[in-house]
Chains A and B, each alone.
Chain A
Amino acid sequence: MAAVSNAVRVPMGDSADVALAAAGDRQAFERLYRIHANRVFSICARMSGSRVMGEELTQDVFVRTWEKLPQFRGESAFSTWLHRLAVNVVLNARKTEGRRASRTEQSDVEDDRRDEMARAPLHIERMDLQDAISKLPEGARRIFVLHDVEGYKHEEIAGMMGITSGGSKAQLHRARLLLREALER
């Protein structure tokens, strides 16, 4: 089952501003920021599990973008390049590691579900889902966001995170099961 892609959300046609910004035009770069800020913030906040951290990381992403923009060759869409850069910035940010490890790290919670009775389908509110995602263990959260929210493939995630494709699949499944459990409550 293919992951749902968010590509349709990405605004296109900002190549002129990209070229201007790469040449040092700050106003053009601000326009790019205005267009892409929410998407980048969404990636940062969801992957880090914190809106506050997401804001800090978003600033890091755009500063890094400003630095790296002269190297952008246009081989992919700017938005694709930017989002990948955002993911890398989040993955390189280690400071929150271990901070949120306690809440949902109880392993093998899915074992308890084996004898569950059938019940009504999940009714998921967006806020509930967003909140539940933020409470996932870091590894599972990052992979869930990259795969199910951002639409990256397991092979891409494996490359970005330095893990195997199988590891990515296993973490994704674990994340989905944990979310289901959280949303049932």
Chain B
Amino acid sequence: MTNSNMTCEEFDAALPDYLEGTLDEPLRAAVQKHLSECVRCASLVRDLETIRKNAGALPDLIPSRDLWQGIEARIAAPVIPLAERPEVQRRFVPAWMGVAAAALIVSTAGITYVLTARSLQGAKEQVATLATQGSPIPSKSGSDTGAPQISTEQAPTPADGGGAGSRRPPTGSRMAASDAAAGQNRAGARLAVQQEQSDAVYGREIDMLQKIVTQRKTQLDSSTVAIIERNLQIIDAAIEQSKTALAKDPRSRLLSDQLTHALDKKVELLRTAAFLPAST
């Protein structure tokens, strides 16, 4: 279908710009003339304008369910405060840094365990020897053995300056050694209880984040998921090592800190994974 001035093919070529209103005046006039003479092209323009008009008037769609609960679970999950880092670093930390950090946790946990176990073994032998000999126990900071420094039996006094480092158990008797050991046991029990409570909090947090991450796996790039899972395995290994070491030496502050550090790492990684945008 043509007219003397513009063919339908020429009209079709000019149509997008005509609908956009960006044709120069002579061409626009030619199009309008063609439209006044060509029923097919006039019908096409009318339909396309109707589509555009109706599209702009489409009402909002309504989700089939309340999406807030899912959103709230994801934004409410990370309740354990983590060290703040600049946004750019948080978003673009290379994967190898995560692996390196987790490897560091594993190695330091292992080294700490070995050193602490040796130190404890030495301290136990020393206490046993001194007790047998009836000698006074030398002043020894609890941190050397991983044991707490404050004994409930030995309240600080003005005479000894009140400092934990200057406190000494009674000297010259077997009772001194057994009192100190009892105090250490009680403090060790307290530490174990605190660790248990802390583990429970971490456990709840990790469970919640783990569920979110599991749900989100399908939304994330498969290579990202693989890196996350690998790093989680490494961190889990560090956690297990720390727990095993702590089971053998529940009074060790160092091992307790090591475990907390590894749990922090796990929460941080899960939290990052939970917040990753889809298919990053």
B55 touches A55 (CB 8 A): no
Interface residues of A in 130-168 (CB under 8 A from B): 130, 133, 144, 148-149, 151, 154
Option from A6, A45, A56, A126 in Cβ contact (under 8 Å) with B54: A126
- How many interface contacts (CB-CB < 8 Å) are there between A and B? 154
Quote the shortest CB–CB distance from A3 to chain B (angstroms).
7
Interface SS majority for chain B: helix
**A2 to B15 CA separation, bound complex (whole angstroms):** 15
A105 within 8 A of B: no
A79 within 8 A of B: no
Interface residues of A in 98-138 (CB under 8 A from B): 110, 113-114, 116-119, 121-122, 124, 126, 129-130, 133
B92 within 8 A of A: no
**A95 to B279 CA separation, bound complex (whole angstroms):** 7
| Closest residue on chain A to residue B70 by CB atoms | A59
A129 touches B51 (CB 8 A): yes
**A47 to B43 CA separation, bound complex (whole angstroms):** 28
B40 within 8 A of A: yes
Interface residues of B in 16-56 (CB under 8 A from A): 16-17, 19-21, 39-40, 42-44, 46-56
Note all chain B residues with C-beta closer than 8 A to A177. 48
Binary interface encoding of chain A residues 66-92 relative to chain B, with 1 for a CB under 8 A from any of its CBs, else 0: 110001000000000000000001001
| Closest residue on chain B to residue A121 by CB atoms | B46
A92 touches B277 (CB 8 A): yes
B97 within 8 A of A: no
**A119 to B76 CA separation, bound complex (whole angstroms):** 57
A148 touches B52 (CB 8 A): yes
A57 within 8 A of B: yes
Given A1-B20, A37-B63, A180-B48, 15 more A-B residue pairs with CB atoms under 8 Å apart are A6-B56, A26-B76, A29-B75, A46-B61, A54-B63, A59-B74, A63-B275, A95-B218, A110-B12, A118-B39, A121-B50, A126-B59, A130-B61, A173-B15, A180-B51
